[in-house]
Amino acid sequence: MKKRLAIFASGNGSNAEKLMHYFAENPYAEVVLVVSNKSDAGVLKHAENHTVETCVFENADFVSGEEVLANLQQRDIDYIVLAGFLRKIPDTLIAAYARRIINIHPALLPKFGGKGMYGMHVHTAVKEAGETKTGITIHLVDEEFDNGEHLAQYTCPVNAEDTPATIATKVQSLEHQYFGPTIEKYITC
User: 172: number of CA atoms within 13 Å, CB side?
Assistant: 18
Q: If binding is defined by CB under 6 A, does position 12 make contact with ligand GRF?
A: yes
164/185 Cα distance (integer angstroms)? 31
DSSP string, 115-152: TT--THHHHHHHHHTT-SEEEEEEEE--SSTT-SPEEE
Q: Out of 7, 52, 80, 106, point to the residue binding ligand GRF (CB under 6 A).
A: 106
Region near ligand GRF per CB under 6 A, out of 5-13, 72-80, 123-131, 151-159: 5-13
What count of other Cβ atoms lies within 10 Å of the Cβ of residue 108? Answer: 21
Q: If binding is defined by CB under 6 A, does position 175 make contact with ligand GRF?
A: yes
Specify whether the CB–CB gap between 32 and 75 falls below 8 A: yes
User: Residue 135 annotated as binding?
Assistant: no
Residue in 46, 50, 105, 139 annotated catalytic: 105
Specify whether the CB–CB gap between 132 and 158 falls below 8 A: yes
Q: If binding is defined by CB under 6 A, does position 146 make contact with ligand GRF?
A: no
Q: If binding is defined by CB under 6 A, does position 13 make contact with ligand GRF?
A: yes
The reply to whether 21 belongs to the active site is no
Q: Which is nearer to ligand GRF, 67 or 176 (CB)?
A: 176
CB of residue 128 vs ligand GRF: minimum separation in angstroms?
Answer: 18
Q: Out of 6, 20, 83, 167, point to the residue binding ligand GRF (CB under 6 A).
A: 83
**Exposed/middle/buried for 73, CB within 10 Å: 0-12, 13-18, 19+?**
exposed
The residues annotated as belonging to the active site are: 105
Residues near ligand GRF, by CB under 6 A: 9, 11-16, 83-84, 104-106, 175
